[in-house]
Amino acid sequence: MAPIGNSGSAPSQQPDRKTDMKKTLVILAAAICTATFAFSAHAADNDAKMKKESAESTYKMSKKQATADEKSAMAQCKTMSGDAKDQCKKDAKAAHDKTMADAKDMHDKSMADYKAMK
């Protein structure tokens, strides 16, 4: 016996609709994932750039502060005489050199972190 009604064409359309909907959902999910990844990559890049700029700024300010501190210490040394004056100048120079080395080390570490984030 033949089936009653027009059911022969209906079952063939149902799987096509479901398949099309599944394809559409997969494409939509892929697009959302791509957009999310692109946004997070962009945000990470901006974060890395901000950290680099901050490191550069901190390094410049540290160098200026070290130089200002050395000048101030040297000015105090001018009031002294003899061995005390010589030792004062050595101490001021040593403090300046240590501050500059510490600032350079921090800057180098920040730059290495920036390159690792890129």
Q: Is-contact 93 82, C-beta < 8 A?
A: no
> Distance between CA atoms of 30 and 50, rounded to whole angstroms?
30
Q: What is the 3-class SS of 42-79, one letter each residue?
A: HHHHHHHHHHHHHHHHHHHHHHHHHHHHHHHHHHHHCC
pLDDT (0 to 100) of residue 85: 94
CA 75 to chain centre: 40
Residue 102: predicted pLDDT: 93
Cα–Cα distance, 19 to 70 (Å, whole number):
76
What is the predicted pLDDT for the residue at 28?
Answer: 66
Domain ranges of the chain: 66-118
Q: How far apart are CA 66 and CA 97, in angstroms?
A: 8
CA-nearest of 16, 38, 48 to 114 is 48
- pLDDT tens for the chain, 118 residues long, are 455 545 544 454 455 766 776 677 667 677 676 666 555 555 556 777 888 888 899 999 999 999 999 999 999 999 999 999 999 999 999 999 999 999 999 999 988 888 887 6
pLDDT given at position 116: 82
Q: What is the pLDDT of residue 105?
A: 93
